[in-house]
Amino acid sequence: MNIKQLTIKTVALFAIVLLTVISIQAANKPTLNRVEPPFWWTGFKNPSLQLMVYGERISETKPEIKYEGVELVTSSAVENPNYLFLDLRLSPNVKPGKFEITFKQNGKTIVTTTYELKAREKNSSQRVGFNTTDVMYLIMPDRFVNGDPSNDSMPESLEKANRANPDGRHGGDLKGIQDHLDYIKDNGYTAIWVNPVLENNMPDISYHGYSTTDFYKVDSRFGTNADYQTLSAEAKKKGIKMVMDMIFNHCGSSHWWMKDMPMKDWINEYPAYKITNHKKATVQDPYGSEIDSKEFTDGWFVPTMPDLNQRNPYMANYLIQNSIWWIEHVGLDGIRMDTYPYPDKQMMSDWTKKVMDEYPNFNIVGEEWNTNPAAVAFWQKGKTNPNGYTSYLPSLMDFPTQNAIVQSMNENDGLNRLYETLALDYLYPKADNLVTFAENHDTERFFSAIGENIPKYKTAMTFLMTTRGIPQVYYGSEILMTGFKRDGDGALRKDFPGGWQGDQINGFKGVGLTAAQLDVQQFMKKLVNWRKGKDVIHNGLLKHYYPTNNFYVYFRYSEKETVMVILNLNSEEKTLNTSRFAESLKGFTSAKEVMSGNAVNDLNNIVLPAKTSMILELK
């Protein structure tokens, strides 16, 4: 081998070694995969923003931000080197715009990402949440309308569509809801609570939405984040508020972070999980033990729902910011929080306070599935609790009244239950702000629960629309959809007829419905629309009289108007002598019955047909 050949060979070998070293260095260079929240806004009362940065060995870098009004206060590495938490402080005068976050190692830029601060919509902080003027329509999006069949089964989704499976994905989506906003509006509803729409990329039973796998992304089988924004905007044009279903207690076991968690205590009871004891009283009990409370709070809801540790301050910040992000991004008018007692109660107090500080007219309703009013009242803002717990939650789902509605229709002298449940309203700081309902996605269909009795159904709906609180109606109730819990959750969440191409029955257009269904649909439409314009129902006082002879009589009244409601479960025509109600009838001589339009000229003795209730506008 001559010198020239040796030189060439040496140079080639050196080049190979150099390329190998460069490749190794590149492979070992920190990477950036995601930043959450993905963007933020200017103009909040709270100037703090915490970014969760994720990427291979990203903690080995030093981040830098150069943008007027944005201060990088701290950069915190945690147990997992693939995470950094950046604490930013935004000045009151910071301007909307984009800026670079540069991640450096040994003084050299390794990776750069662009972050945006958006301008908030005008008067965003003053948005008015759902309230007593509203009637809320609850929709399970997978089961309402399939507006875009092309997204039924997405390539990245673990579970594909199978409408034949009661527990499978059926194809309903955000486009389907948007396409039927006129139906919702025409039937009198002024707010829609949509069951969770965030990504649930689980292998099975993912349709219900309660196993979140990405907190910042709408499930692609429902649509996109932009579709969610469009739905909200179109709803607002029609006077319909948007309520988002959220879950802080748990995520789905297929959530992206479950493969690479920031720290050991990100999830409770991991990896050797325990199921929660479901003993909700343990977090309210003034005599309770720490172990009982821990087993309730830290246990997993089910094996596929890892329990989030809200005592971890990074987790707490993540969830709080996520909720505010969705309020701004979609333009929400309310939040329904799932399994409210299960997360850490102090964090839940902090969360509600921070949200309500930013949006003082907003509303949040929590799910405390308990038929004991004292247990529900514990969580409402303004309640003085023996254990010193302070809550800032404005509203709760009124499960005690829901239970009373069902029982009142199934028991002898059942109307007494309604009276006695409302008589306990002194337990609540603000009973008017409770969300009342006869059924939801977890309960038996109301029409089934009362033996498919139409007069009782109408009586219960009359009560729901005229008593105190914010009524909620479950999709399909207006066409008497049925289902028993014993047959599985899928039986409670059947497809709305007419929501899929080829459906022989169309509840939206009235095609194929029975005479009874059409009658009830029109009854509900008239009742809900009447309520929409009645300030005396929204804001008036309530006075009721103990039920006698299967009559329950109460009055909604204000300085301007009085409405008399008679709930009647008698199986034959009866005459109601009204002398007992003299204190409420003083000065009135006649009335107009709302549903029939008939005049009532004798208020002393009112004739009621069998199983017929009345709403009387007094004159």
**What's the pLDDT tens digit per position in 453-483?**
999 999 999 999 999 999 999 999 999 999 9
Q: Are strands 562-568 and 435-437 parallel, antiparallel or unpaired?
A: unpaired
Q: Are strands 191-194 and 136-139 parallel, antiparallel or unpaired?
A: parallel
Cα–Cα distance for residue pair 351/97, rounded to 1 Å: 27
| Strand, helix or coil for residue 603 | coil
pLDDT the model gives residue 5: 55
CA distances from 453 to 426, 457, 492 (A): 32, 6, 18
The domain ranges of the chain are 34-121, 134-533, 539-618
Q: Are strands 48-54 and 83-90 parallel, antiparallel or unpaired?
A: antiparallel
Given the residues 328, 344, 367, 398, select the one marked as catalytic: 367
338 counts as catalytic? yes
Q: Are 425 and 577 in contact (CB under 8 A)?
A: no
Give the ranges where 339-453 is alpha helix by DSSP (H): 345-358, 373-377, 399-408, 415-422, 446-449
Residues written for the chain: 619
Q: Are 545 and 418 in contact (CB under 8 A)?
A: no
Tokens (6 digits) for 40 = 């933020």
pLDDT the model gives residue 318: 98
pLDDT the model gives residue 28: 81
CA distances from 182 to 238, 491, 560 (A): 8, 27, 32
pLDDT the model gives residue 11: 44
Q: Which distant-in-sequence residues (6+ apart) come within 8 Å of 533 by Cβ?
A: none
Cα–Cα distance for residue pair 461/476, rounded to 1 Å: 14
523: burial class by Cβ within 10 Å (0-12, 13-18, 19+)? Answer: middle
Is this structure's pTM higher than 0.85?
yes
Pick the CATH number of 34-121 from 2.40.10.220, 1.10.760.10, 2.60.40.10, 3.30.1490.190: 2.60.40.10
Query: Given this chain, do its domains 34-121 and 539-618 carry the same CATH topology?
Result: yes
Tokens (6 digits) for 365 = 């309703």
**What's the pLDDT tens digit per position in 489-547?**
999 999 999 999 999 999 999 999 999 999 999 999 999 999 999 999 999 999 999 99
Q: Tell me which architecture the domain covering 539-618 has in CATH.
A: Sandwich (2.60)
- The CB-based long-range contact list for 253-260 (8 Å cut-off, 24+ gap) reads 253/202, 253/211, 253/303, 253/304, 253/305, 253/306, 254/158, 254/201, 254/202, 254/203, 254/211, 254/213, 255/212, 255/213, 255/214, 255/306, 256/213, 256/214, 257/54, 258/306, 260/80, 260/82
Cα–Cα distance for residue pair 71/341, rounded to 1 Å: 36
**What's the pLDDT tens digit per position in 126-179?**
999 999 999 999 999 999 999 999 999 999 999 999 999 999 999 999 999 999
**What's the pLDDT tens digit per position in 3-41?**
555 555 554 554 454 444 344 445 589 999 999 999 999
Given the residues 152, 307, 338, 344, select the one marked as catalytic: 338
Mean pLDDT of 256-275: 96
Question: Scanning the structure block, which residue is given the tokens 């239970």?
Answer: 403
Cα–Cα distance for residue pair 198/154, rounded to 1 Å: 15
> Considering just the CA atoms, what is the radius of gyration of the chain in Å?
29
| Strand, helix or coil for residue 313 | helix
pLDDT the model gives residue 1: 55
Q: Which distant-in-sequence residues (6+ apart) come within 8 Å of 406 by Cβ?
A: 438, 446, 449, 450
Tell me the β-bridge partners of 472: 136, 437
Mean pLDDT of 238-260: 98
The CATH code of the domain at 134-533 is 3.20.20.80
> What values do phi and psi take at 14, rounded to 5?
-60, -40
